[in-house]
Amino acid sequence: MSDLLDTLAAASPQLWEGTLVTLQLTFGGAALAFLVAVGLGLAALSPWVIVRTLVRVIVELFRGTSLVVQVFFLFYVLPLWGVELAPYTTGILALGLNYGAYGSEVVRGSLTSVPQGQWETTTALSMSWLHKMRRVIWPQAWALMLPGLNNLLIMLVKGTALASFFLMNDLTFVSDQMRRTAGTFTSYGIAMVIYLLIALALSWALRVLEARALRRLGLREPTKGETAKATAEAVA
Amino acid sequence: MTWDTEFALSVFPELLSAFVRVTLLVTVVGSLMAAALGLVWAITQRSLGRRSLPLRWVLDFIRMTPIPVQLLFVYYTFNNLSALTVGILVFGIHYSTYMAESYRAGIESIRKGQWEAATALSLPPHRTWRAVILPQALRATLPSLGNWAIAMFKDTPFLIFIGVLEMVTVARQIGGSTFRYTETFTIAGLIFLAASYPTAILMRRLEKRLAY
Amino acid sequence: MIHFQDVVKRFGDTTVLDGLDFTVAPGERVTLIGPSGSGKTTILRLLMTLEDLTEGFIYVDGEPLTHELRDGKRVARRPRDVSKTRRRIGMVFQQFNLFPNMSVLENITEAPIHVLGKPKQEAREDALRILEQVGLRERANAHPMQLSGGQQQRVAIARALAMHPEILLLDEVTSALDPELVGDVLEVLREIARTTNITMLIVTHEMQFARDVSNRVLMFDSGRILEEAEPDKMFSHPEHERTRRFLQAIL
């Protein structure tokens, strides 16, 4: 036990450093992913066929080609074209675009799940597009999309581990370095626990948002199973 | 940087071979394993009720921690296992936690009346599951399992962490020795797209077909 | 005045309305009856611009609604112009469609404030007055989900009235209600019919209500008007055998 504590104490500066890098990638990636998801999700409902087609192509391209391939593309190919990105930017961009594309499916699905009658009533009351979105459709879709976004956010946290491959000092990288001194079980075990705590905290925060949104609508919470099914459709 | 079609075509066979030998192998065996384990988790949870809480924690732990760390952890803990075996095990177990949730959705979608009818007929539990609940639940779950398999498929490049020569790793090696990353990664991406997109479409069709 | 001119509505290969021509005078109350699928709800939805017109024109007080004749050609009007004309029309739906993210009062004031640009205080007072009228003033701050179906529908009526429409469309407003809740909703509508001169187009299966409030009844069959008459005449001495059978089936 005291061995473990000693190891922890010795490694704590690096672990802290690694956790910060992971957190930065998580928040940066999640912020970008959210913007992309909302943008593409709304555009997917555009009345213009050309916009919808374009969105479909972008989404399927990012969904279909694997996060790792996309990261490698940004990391190895862009420099050949004269675009040099900092590792941070590469990581955030790849996470944001990939999970943003997944998220756009969740956003689109939630918007179309708002009952037809709600959309029709906004027409009957002559509301403008912005008005109906902001005040009627979005608040209802928001509650529906949070469980799906929650699952994606956890996947994004896990996806940040890829950064270690580009020698970024993230949690995975630090734990891999620790292996030699602390042993396999301790080093990776600690890393997994920290990842778990980050995921749990974020997941809890989104669930609080969801509970608030549902309370405002007077609705019940969807079951975990229903959420998992919807998420599977988005990430496939 | 110019695009060299001839070069792109020349790397294609090598990438495809790595794709079939490793990527597909891991995906297929891993998915089958995940589907079987996921079902076990789901039925155990449903049958044990509140007593299944510790199992739930373990599954959440696996689901909420990154595959690369899990790969490294298992790889270095069991050094008698080949990297490929470790890959299949980790992917199978990791995605079984997701598939368990999908099974759960399928089981939840069975109306209460079905359970009650089974009880009214005094069916023993294994018959209730095998003859009544699962046939209906699996129908609703199948597309969802397929979707998770596709997600697993796209995660297979994580095998690079334990040095398995799967397609993206091979692409990176070729790129490294020729400095032609554009072609290699484009081809690798296209192979992924060509495999995952039609499968995803198939699952969407299946979903509609199987819906009651 | 509402005028349908050569209106055709097709969904794919199915023709729902087939060259429809009819006029509703200002202040008139017209009930549309007929078997399901005969096109009566489609008429309301076309007026509310919830469906696209396949052919023909609809005029509201002489103003074209969604399409107009320009240089001998039928062209769609700009969305902004459509919206302007549409504001004269209100609609109450079968499923109430209250906004679940807003209180009763907010449901009613939302469009007057943000679509018509009414000052908040004025919209609020107006909403409370209308809520009083439908007998729900004390529920102003309630959540839609806390109300019974009948109460929700009365709020939906209040919401439509708060836009002060010249024309009110009632689409099977009692069909989704439990039988014992129907009476209150119909009483509110009778009161509105008595005290205002709003033009009303009503699709309903409540024949007694139709008899009480409407000036005219149109019987639809297969996308055409089979016959039209004053309610008393329609319900006691219908001209067509088809109408007789329909009325027998539902009364």
Q: pLDDT tens for residues B67-125?
A: 999 999 999 999 899 999 999 999 999 999 999 999 988 888 888 878 888 877 777 78
CATH 2.60.40.420 fits B5-210, yes or no: no
Which pair of tokens denotes residue A136?
């009627």
Instruction: Note whether B192 contacts A179, CB cutoff 8 Å.
Output: no
Residue of chain A whose Cα is closest to the Cα of B176: A76
Q: What does the DSSP assignment read for A123-175?
A: HHTT--HHHHIIIIIHHHHHHHHHHHHHHHHHHHHHHGGGGGGGT---HHHHH
**CA atoms of B82 and B75, how far apart (whole Å):** 8
pLDDT digits 0-9 by tens, A112-149 = 999 999 999 999 999 999 999 999 999 999 999 999 99
A chain contacts of residue C144, beta-carbon cutoff 8 Å: 218
**CA atoms of B112 and B119, how far apart (whole Å):** 11
**Which residue bears the tokens 């990638």?**
A25
CATH 3.40.50.720 fits A2-235, yes or no: no
Give residue B93's pLDDT. Answer: 97
Reply yes or no on whether the pLDDT at A152 is more than 90: yes
Could you tell me the CA-to-CA distances from C128 to C121, C160, C173 in Å, in that order? 11, 14, 22
Q: Domain limits of chain A?
A: 2-235
Name the residue type at position C216. R
pLDDT digits 0-9 by tens, C147-176 = 999 999 999 999 999 999 999 999 999 999
Could you tell me the CA-to-CA distances from C27 to A229, B58, C92, C168, C193 in Å, in that order? 52, 69, 18, 10, 9
pLDDT band at B211 (very low <50, low <70, confident <90, very high): low
Could you tell me the CA-to-CA distances from B176 to A77, B68, B170, B185, C192 in Å, in that order? 11, 22, 10, 11, 80
Gap from B210 CA to chain A (nearest CA, Å): 14
Instruction: Note whether B148 contacts A232, CB cutoff 8 Å.
Output: yes
Chains B and C touch (3+ CB pairs under 8 A): no
Reply yes or no on whether the pLDDT at B212 is more than 60: no
pLDDT digits 0-9 by tens, C16-52 = 999 899 999 999 999 999 988 888 999 999 999 989 9
A chain contacts of residue B182, beta-carbon cutoff 8 Å: 77, 80-81
pLDDT band at B185 (very low <50, low <70, confident <90, very high): confident
Please state, rounded to an integer, the average pLDDT across all residues of chain A.
89
Helix (H) or strand (E) holding B138: helix B134-155
Gap from C115 CA to chain A (nearest CA, Å): 6
Give residue B1's pLDDT. Answer: 56
Reply yes or no on whether the pLDDT at B159 is more than 80: yes
Reply yes or no on whether the pLDDT at C114 is more than 60: yes
Give residue B126's pLDDT. Answer: 82
Instruction: Note whether B101 contacts A65, CB cutoff 8 Å.
Output: no
**CA atoms of C104 and A90, how far apart (whole Å):** 49
pLDDT, mean of residues A199-221: 86
Interface of C with A (CB under 8 A): 48-50, 83, 86-87, 89-91, 93, 95-97, 99-102, 110-111, 114-115, 143-146, 159-160, 163
Count of residues making up chain A:
236
Name the residue type at position C75. V
Residue of chain A whose Cα is closest to the Cα of B150: A236
Instruction: Note whether B105 contacts A229, CB cutoff 8 Å.
Output: yes
**Least confident window among A226-230, B46-50, B153-157, C84-88:** A226-230
Percentage of chain C modeled with pLDDT above 70: 100
Give residue A220's pLDDT. Answer: 65
Instruction: Note whether A140 contacts C100, CB cutoff 8 Å.
Output: yes
Which pair of tokens denotes residue B100?
């368990």
pLDDT, mean of residues B2-31: 87
Q: C135: burial class by Cβ within 10 Å (0-12, 13-18, 19+)?
A: middle
CATH of domain C1-88+168-173+198-251: 3.40.50.300
CB contacts under 8 A, A 108-147 vs B, are none
A chain contacts of residue C160, beta-carbon cutoff 8 Å: 124
Instruction: Note whether A228 contacts B98, CB cutoff 8 Å.
Output: yes
Give residue A221's pLDDT. Answer: 67
Give residue C162's pLDDT. Answer: 94
pLDDT digits 0-9 by tens, B27-57 = 999 999 999 999 999 999 988 888 889 999 9
Give residue C226's pLDDT. Answer: 92
Q: Domain limits of chain B?
A: 5-210
**CA atoms of A17 and A10, how far apart (whole Å):** 13
